[in-house]
Amino acid sequence: MRTAILAAAALTFALPAPAAEVALDVGHTLADPGAISARGRGEYHFNRDLAPVVQAALAARGIAVRPINYDGRIASLSARPDAARGSDLFLSLHHDSLPAHEQELWVWEGQRLSYSDRYAGFSLHVSRRNPEATVSGRCASAIGAAMRLAGFVPTRHHYPKHPWADEENAVHWHDNLVVLHRTTMPAVLFEAGVIKHRDEELQLSDPERMARMADAIATGVAACLYAMPR
């Protein structure tokens, strides 16, 4: 018995607690799936597919994940930051749409759907109302820089409605998003790409590309969290 306790103690010592924890939020819900893709698929499902890939990439860097809304049934927007309390970073995964005036109609598999091939690419959003706005911006910039280094191209369509926090790395001020300013920790909203864009929608579902994107996200998160005073 005593040996077992010692062995357990040694194991605990050998496996230190993860250095950081990210609250990884799947944007939108099953009931209200957010944007609808050019082929009629709800944004929630894209977000839900990307989450475990990002989680694995973070785990590979020793960063723990607290899953938020993986089941798509979270009660409210403010329940997300509440569930994240105590984590080091709140990271919300989303897929982008485009304004209605940019959209056209097409028929795909017998369905009349809206699409726009005008803009494609990723973007990042942070709020000046977040109590850790500076760190939020730094984390978003780190993720954007890692995404660019991995070959991903930003979209520019959120400007000027949402001013640049870091133009080079596709980071916008998006001050009034509840999930960004209700948190007590740094918070970043990541838009993976534009699902209204017919080609990008297909790319965003490609497993090899999703893994590369997740790796870039995790690289940025690690760079930011390990540099953060704790």
Nearer to Zn ion among residue 48 and residue 94 (C-beta):
94
Cβ proximity of 91 and 25 under 8 Å: yes
Nearer to Zn ion among residue 34 and residue 121 (C-beta):
34
What's the Cα-to-Cα distance from 25 to each of 1, 37, 98, 168, rounded to whole Å? Answer: 42, 20, 22, 25
Q: β-strands 164-166, 123-126: how paired?
A: unpaired
| Interacting residue ranges for Zn ion, rule: CB under 5 A | 27, 34, 94
Residue 94: CB minimum distance to Zn ion, A: 3
Residue 190: CB minimum distance to Zn ion, A: 10
Residue 1: CB minimum distance to Zn ion, A: 53
Residue 93: CB minimum distance to Zn ion, A: 9
Q: How far apart are CA 27 and CA 194, in angstroms?
A: 14
Nearer to Zn ion among residue 34 and residue 220 (C-beta):
34
Nearer to Zn ion among residue 33 and residue 225 (C-beta):
33
Task: List helix spans (H) across the chain.
Answer: 2-14, 43-59, 79-84, 133-149, 178-181, 198-204, 207-227
Q: Which residue of this chain has its Cβ atom nearest to Zn ion in the complex?
A: 94
